[in-house]
Amino acid sequence: MKKLISSLFGLLLVLGLSAQTSNNNKKLTRAERKEIKAQERAERKEKIIAAIKDQQFVIEAYILEDRYNRFFQVSPVTNFVLVDSTEATIQFALPGRIGGWNGLGGVTDQGRVRNITFPKKMPKYGVSFEMDVQGPAFGSSRVYVDVNEDGLAVMRFSGAFGARFSMRGNFEFLEDSNIYKGLASF
């Protein structure tokens, strides 16, 4: 029994040392790591731009900021901006609220995307764009979105009837999103 334990211990020690030597051979220089990271960023940025141009994306928010600069931690499942071809859904639901116009303690506005425009000069890191949305709850509204390469997004909303709020969350591709739509009362 002691021989078995000692032989297993020796085997693990030899495997551990051989694994360390193989990892040392795979170390990259700082310049190579930086180049790989830059390539990954460029690929992610291209995917994000393609999703925006195809109008197939979701921004799942985990922080909601109202017009008085009060911050609320919210669930990304019920707080989002969804764009699917020409249809847009803007929904927010405050935690702890029961009812509301959408049954979740907030508002769900389903409307149409009129246009998406990019600035003339694109930022070095990330993507910025503006979107005009026409819906019954907020009227004609403008949505400003900034997304970095890691998928973190800031969305600023300005509606026709004085509605202003911001959402911060993750930019998700439509097929990867996990959202729950409330009732659109309008």
DSSP track, the chain: -HHHHHHHHHHHHHHHHHHHHHHHHTPPPHHHHHHHHHHHHHHHHHHHHHHHHHTEEEEEEEEEE-TT--EEE--TTTSEEEEETTEEEEEEE-TT--EETTSEEEEEEEEEEEEEE--SS--SSSEEEEEEEEETTTEEEEEEEEE-TTSEEEEEEE-TTS-EEEEEEEEEEGGG----------
> Closest by alpha carbon to 92, among 184, 29, 178, 186?
184
Residue 53 has pLDDT above 70, yes or no: yes
Residues 24 and 73 grouped into a single domain: no
Could you give the CA distance from residue 121 to residue 7 in angstroms, rounded to a whole number? 65
In a domain, 181, yes or no: no
How does pLDDT run across 15-50, given as a tens digit for each residue? 665 555 445 556 888 889 989 988 998 899 899 999
Residues 126 and 96 grouped into a single domain: yes
The domain in which residue 149 lies consists of: 43-176
Residues 146 and 57 grouped into a single domain: yes
pLDDT attached to residue 22: 47
Residue 164 contacts residue 138 (beta carbons within 8 Å): no
In a domain, 186, yes or no: no
In a domain, 184, yes or no: no
Residues 104 and 13 grouped into a single domain: no
Residues 66 and 24 grouped into a single domain: no
pLDDT attached to residue 145: 93
pLDDT attached to residue 150: 86
The domain that holds 74 is classified in CATH as 2.40.128.410
In a domain, 38, yes or no: no
In a domain, 111, yes or no: yes
pLDDT attached to residue 13: 61
Count of structural domains, the chain? 2
Residues 65 and 15 grouped into a single domain: no
Residue 144 has pLDDT above 90, yes or no: yes
Scan for tokens 């931690």, then name that residue: 73
Residues 97 and 148 grouped into a single domain: yes
Residues 85 and 15 grouped into a single domain: no
Could you give the CA distance from residue 78 to residue 62 in angstroms, rounded to a whole number? 9
In a domain, 185, yes or no: no
Residues 18 and 102 grouped into a single domain: no
Residues 139 and 170 grouped into a single domain: yes
Residue 132 has pLDDT above 70, yes or no: yes
In a domain, 37, yes or no: no
Query: What's the mean per-residue pLDDT of the chain?
Result: 83
CA distances from 70 to 28, 90, 164, 166 (A): 45, 19, 12, 10
In a domain, 59, yes or no: yes
